[in-house]
């Protein structure tokens, strides 16, 4: 709905990086009970690319938090910018 109907000029999406969970010693399952999903970096990048392509957005991926060379950052962020949004 956000990308297809509302079509804002920019959308910021964050989600936990499930790969980073391996660094939390006592964690079993997801980081928080209200999480419906936690994606790997590859899963998140794939979803972002599909959304951007389907709804005419550009997307920039970033990490949030301390970088682990193997597991990435704890949180991942996508900044979607609608193509042509600045031309209106």
Report the distance separating Cα 7 and Cα 1, nearest Å. Answer: 8
Cβ distance 12 to 64 under 8 Å? no
| CATH label, 2-87, candidates 3.30.590.10, 1.20.1250.20, 1.10.260.40, 3.40.50.150 | 3.40.50.150
Q: 28-45 pLDDT, tens per residue? A: 776 677 767 789 999 999
More confident position, 33 or 22:
22
The first and second tokens of residue 66, run together, are 């301390």
87 falls in which pLDDT band (50, 70, 90)?
A: low
pTM of the model: 0.86
Query: In this predicted structure, what is the pLDDT of residue 28?
Result: 72
Query: SS3 for 88?
Result: coil
**Weakest mean pLDDT among 35-39, 50-54, 59-63, 83-87:** 83-87
Closest CA to 65 of 16, 10, 11, 28: 16
């Amino acid at each position: 709905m956000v990308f297809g109907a509302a079509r804002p000029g920019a959308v910021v999406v964050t989600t936990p990086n499930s790969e980073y969970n391996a660094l939390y010693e006592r964690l079993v399952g997801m980081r928080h009970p209200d999480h419906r999903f936690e994606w790997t970096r590859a899963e998140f990048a794939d979803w972002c690319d599909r959304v951007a392509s389907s709804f005419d957005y550009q997307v920039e991926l970033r990490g949030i938090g301390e970088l682990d060379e193997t597991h990435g950052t704890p949180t991942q962020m996508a900044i979607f910018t609608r193509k042509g949004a600045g031309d209106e």
